[in-house]
Amino acid sequence: MSDFSHIPVLLSEVVACLAPCAGEIYVDATFGGGGYAKAILDGANCRLLGIDRDFAAIERAQSFRTLK
């Protein structure tokens, strides 16, 4: 893993608005550093589809959690 670091803006506000729920499916269409996606996955036993055209972003996402 690289030294990449990303701090999402308004993270707590975004997660509060989404209110992740177990069993739900979420889409992060601007995955980037994955900060929002990771917070959503940490907030509930849910599924998330991350989309990004940057292959490095997709590679970083592999460390988050394997979806079943």
Q: What is the pTM of this model?
A: 0.78
pLDDT tens digit sequence for 2-50: 566 778 899 999 999 999 999 999 999 988 888 898 899 999 999 999 8
List CB contacts of 31: < 8 A, sequence separation 6 or more: 37, 50, 51, 52, 57, 58, 61
User: Band of the pLDDT at 62, cuts 50, 70, 90?
Assistant: confident
Where along the chain do its domains lie? Answer: 20-61
List CB contacts of 6: < 8 A, sequence separation 6 or more: 32, 33, 34, 35
The whole-angstrom separation of Cα 58 and Cα 52 is 7
